[in-house]
């Protein structure tokens, strides 16, 4: 049985490798994976505050704000006042942002299919179970303080 440290190292190595490859492929489509992730969240879940997006990605608000600033400069998102809090802004995807996703989404889906297509249905189910269990453990630790 592999040591836990070895499992963690392999998992991190795989994650980093996948993110770098995804980012390279996105760059070829004229986007970046980080920016595309923000667009995907806004497309799937609707307008959100930058702090909500940062929490979703476990990133600092500053990092997400910089990405949103770049997306806004490119016309892919816009900011509007939050009706429930005048001090806050809601970020929403523009039609140009949706067009950008339409260009990158087929490549992203192909990458996912090529990667996870190597797994049997049973392996995918087991992997899902393991990831859910680890997520639950991390959530429990966060809730403990």
What value does the CA radius of gyration of the chain take, rounded to a whole number of Å?
18
Q: Is residue 76 part of a domain?
A: yes
Q: Is residue 88 part of a domain?
A: yes
| Whole-number pLDDT of residue 145 | 65
Q: What's the pTM value of the predicted model, to 2 decimals?
A: 0.78
Q: Is residue 143 part of a domain?
A: no
Number of domains in the chain: 1
Q: What is the CATH number of the domain that holds 62?
A: 1.10.10.10
Q: Is residue 38 part of a domain?
A: yes
Q: Is residue 128 part of a domain?
A: no
pLDDT in tens, the chain (145 residues): 679 999 999 999 999 999 999 989 888 877 888 889 999 999 999 999 999 999 998 888 898 999 999 999 999 999 999 999 988 999 999 999 999 999 888 998 999 999 999 999 999 999 999 999 999 999 899 888 6
The b/e string for 98-120 (b: 16+ C-beta within 10 A; e otherwise) is eebbeebeebbeeeeeeeeeeee
What is the domain extent for residue 25? 4-118
Q: Is residue 79 part of a domain?
A: yes
Q: Is residue 126 part of a domain?
A: no
Q: Is residue 136 part of a domain?
A: no
CA distance 90 to 79: 6
CA 29 to chain centre: 17
Bridge partners for 79 per DSSP: 91
Tokens of 78: 């816009």
């Amino acid at each position: 049985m592999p040591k836990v440290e070895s499992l963690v190292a392999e998992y991190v190595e795989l994650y980093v490798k996948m993110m770098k490859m995804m980012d390279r492929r996105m760059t070829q489509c004229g986007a970046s994976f980080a920016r595309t992730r923000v667009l995907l969240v806004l497309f799937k879940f609707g307008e959100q505050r930058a702090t909500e997006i940062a929490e979703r990605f476990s990133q600092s608000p500053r990092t997400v704000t910089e990405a949103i600033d770049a997306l806004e400069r490119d016309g892919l998102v816009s900011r509007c006042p939050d009706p429930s809090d005048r001090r806050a802004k809601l970020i929403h995807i523009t039609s140009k942002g949706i067009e950008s996703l339409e260009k990158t989404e087929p490549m992203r889906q192909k990458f996912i299919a090529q990667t996870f297509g190597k797994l049997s249905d049973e392996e995918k189910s087991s992997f899902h179970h393991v990831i859910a269990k680890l997520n639950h453990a991390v959530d429990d630790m966060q809730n403990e303080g």
